[in-house]
Chain A
């Protein structure tokens, strides 16, 4: 069974850092682009970042560029999101997701999310 399991969320002070992890299983991880999408409490979905299969292609939302870094370890079937200089507006549920198919397709399968709260 295909699974994406996020971890690493929690409470952090403004200006702090967190590293989210997403462990994948049940599919050929190294063949799929991976994404992070977030959702502030009671708000809509916001695409955050994507990484291609070998990590050579990366994109970010403007709101996180220069503060967040996406990476992956295909040997560990894991994608990461390093979040630095966190702000209150970064609060929300962070979903890990994989592309629908190999290559540049839409997001097809989502994890259940991990919650991040940025507050003093």
Chain B
């Protein structure tokens, strides 16, 4: 199975901050990576797919980059609605695998 490792596990930030989190794959997955946002008690929500393509309706302050084994999710100017847990997922090879998540907390 392809292991996905996210860092940091927890991130403390303030409204207006630029936030960066990373996702590393145990082997090359090309650009077959998605990012999801999950709030407590809610289902996840797709933010980006193919590493950098913004899903329809997702604010442009979210952006993604990377290919191969290293990927980044950036939130420019963090908003109150963005405090949540973020997961990356590879869909290059079965079984698909998620990272363990990065929780964005209020500083």
A interface residue numbers (CB < 8 A to B): 37, 44-47, 50, 59-62, 95, 100, 104-113
Contacts and interface: CB of A to CB of B under 8 A. Distances in A.
B98 interface: yes
Dominant secondary structure of chain A at its interface with chain B: strand
A111 B100 contact: no
B101 interface: yes
B97 to A, nearest CB: 7
Interface string B22-59: 00000000001010101000111110010000010000
A16 B39 CA distance: 31
Contacts of A46: 98
A47 B46 contact: no
22 contacts: A44-B87, A44-B98, A44-B100, A45-B36, A45-B44, A45-B98, A46-B98, A59-B95, A60-B95, A62-B95, A100-B49, A105-B49, A106-B32, A106-B34, A106-B91, A107-B46, A108-B49, A108-B55, A110-B43, A112-B42, A112-B43, A113-B43
